[in-house]
Chains A and B, each alone.
Chain A
Amino acid sequence: MASTEADSSNATTANTENATSKIIKIQSNDGQIFEIDQGVVEQSSTIKTLSDLMDVGEVPIPLPNVKASILGPIVEFCNHHKNDPKPEPLDDDDDDDPNKDIYEPKRSDDIIEWDQNFIKQFTVAEGTLFDIIMAANYLGIKTLLAVGCKTIANMVRGKSSSEVREMFNISYDPPGEGLNAPNAIEGQAGTVPTTQDANATGPSPQPDPMNQ
């Protein structure tokens, strides 16, 4: 009896250890492979979904939207946070909540020190701050996405529009286009194009035909 109970206990422990120590491989779009454990997988809804759907085995999960120079730090971030308690679901879209204290300023100054130091390696000038934000969004890592978005919010707060334009190198609409088009505006209040080519650069996109 005693040996049977011990065997059962050992089997349970082994199963638990196997679950947490299960290693999967992910691959950046430039071919670098990273090994991550289940604690990291759980933080990325994209990787979790892909690992559930694919019988991965030794085959790395490809992540075509993320390069190694970004994926590496992301793995570091997730490794650091894998023992964090699960956060309560946040609903940022709670403007209609009557209990919300609208006298309290919105918080973006609550980034913990480790995360602040982590995000400092990514800059606006090099574009890497936006790379990490887009990667966090693609991978479904909400904590990292929040850190990135809060960082940009903190950079904007208190700045004039000219300072923001300079800080983020925001292009003016060329003459005759965008806000400077002959038929620009007033009716566009309250309308926003819902799709954007995230790879678009240069002049701002044409007005959304659905909103004309």
Chain B
Amino acid sequence: MKRSGVNLLDLPNEILFNILKKLDNTDVLYSLFDINNERLDNIVREETFSNTLNFTLTVRNTIIIGSVLDRFCNYILPQIHYNVKCLIVAPASIERILLATHYPNLTELKLLDFQRDSSLRYFTGEQML
């Protein structure tokens, strides 16, 4: 098949933003962070794509899987933590995400499926995060 010279990076920034704004921030970061292209990397590091991170969204009915969480916790979050203002987490991943790095500008923490007995321990006593 003939491959054209026209590709994704020929689109102006306004269109790239248009495309990426149709994705959840976690999708943008997972798929494009550190793709080793300066222009895309600059776009993805914009605050708008890391201000609010929702780790509870399901993708094709599959809860965020281990390898994806690994990439975020070990690599992505430590590099964009300054931008994070709001985290939305589920009980299964709250510990890993909150311990992955510090979040100096975090102002909102939202817990989905909060179970008082199992989740409260993170905020009191010896297991406080």
Which residue of chain A has the shortest Cβ distance to B7 in the bound complex?
A169
B13 in contact with A192 (CB, 8 Å): yes
Of B8, B59, B60, B83, which is in contact with the most chain A CB atoms at under 10 Å from its CB? B8
Q: Which stretch of B47-55, B95-103, B114-122 is in the interface?
A: B47-55
Interface residues of A in 95-147 (CB under 8 A from B): 95, 102-103, 105-108, 123-128, 130-131, 133-134, 137, 145
Query: How many B residues face the partner with a CB closer than 8 A?
Result: 54
Complex Cα distance, B43 from A205, in Å, reads 13
Contacts of B82 in A (CB 8 A): 189
Known A105-B24, A127-B6, A156-B23: A145·B18 in contact at CB below 8 Å:
yes
> With A125-B3, A179-B41, A198-B10 given, is the CB distance from A102 to B15 under 8 Å?
no
Contacts of A184 in B (CB 8 A): 38
Q: Are A200 and B1 in contact (CB under 8 A)?
A: no
From B35, B46, B47, B52, A164 is in contact (CB under 8 Å) with B35
Contact present for A169 and B3 (CB under 8 Å): yes
- Tell me if A95 and B52 are in contact (CB < 8 A): yes
Distance of B98 from chain A, by nearest CB (Å): 19
Question: Do the beta carbons of B12 and A102 come within 8 Å of each other?
Answer: no
Contact A130–B31 (Cβ < 8 Å): no
- Determine whether A150 belongs to the interface, using a CB cutoff of 8 Å to chain B: yes
B13 in complex: contacting residue of A126, A134, A193, CB < 8 Å = A193
Report B82 CB to chain A, min CB distance, Å: 7
Q: How far is the CB of B60 from chain A (nearest CB, A)?
A: 7
Determine which of B21, B42, B57, B88 lies in contact with A92 in the assembled complex, contact meaning CB atoms within 8 Å: B21
Q: Mark A169-202, 1 if CB is under 8 A from B, else 0.
A: 1111100011100001000111111111011110
Contact flag A125-B4 (CB < 8 Å), given A159-B31, A191-B42: yes
The 8 Å CB contact of B52, one of A102, A127, A207, is A102
Chain A hits for B35, CB < 8 A: 161, 164-165, 170
Residue in A106, A189, A194 whose CB lies within 8 Å of B22: A106
Query: B37 touches which one: A131, A152, A157, A173 (CB < 8 A)?
Result: A173
Residue in B closest to A160 when the chains form the complex, CB atoms: B31
Cβ-neighbour of B2 out of A126, A149, A200 (below 8 A): A126
Question: Does A209 touch B at the CB level, under 8 Å?
Answer: no
Residue of A107, A145, A169 with most partner-chain B CB within 10 A: A169
Q: Whole-angstrom distance between the alpha carbons of A87 and B24 in the complex?
A: 23
Given A102-B54, A130-B8, A190-B46, the answer on whether A204 and B37 have CB atoms closer than 8 Å is yes
Contact call B23/A106, Cβ cutoff below 8 A: yes
A-to-B contact residues, CB < 8 Å: 92-93, 95, 102-103, 105-108, 123-128, 130-131, 133-134, 137, 145, 149-150, 152-153, 156-161, 163-165, 168-173, 177-179, 184, 188-196, 198-201, 204-205, 207
Which B residues have a C-beta under 8 Å from some C-beta of A?
Answer: 1-15, 18-24, 27, 30-43, 45-48, 51-52, 54, 56-60, 80, 82-83, 88, 112
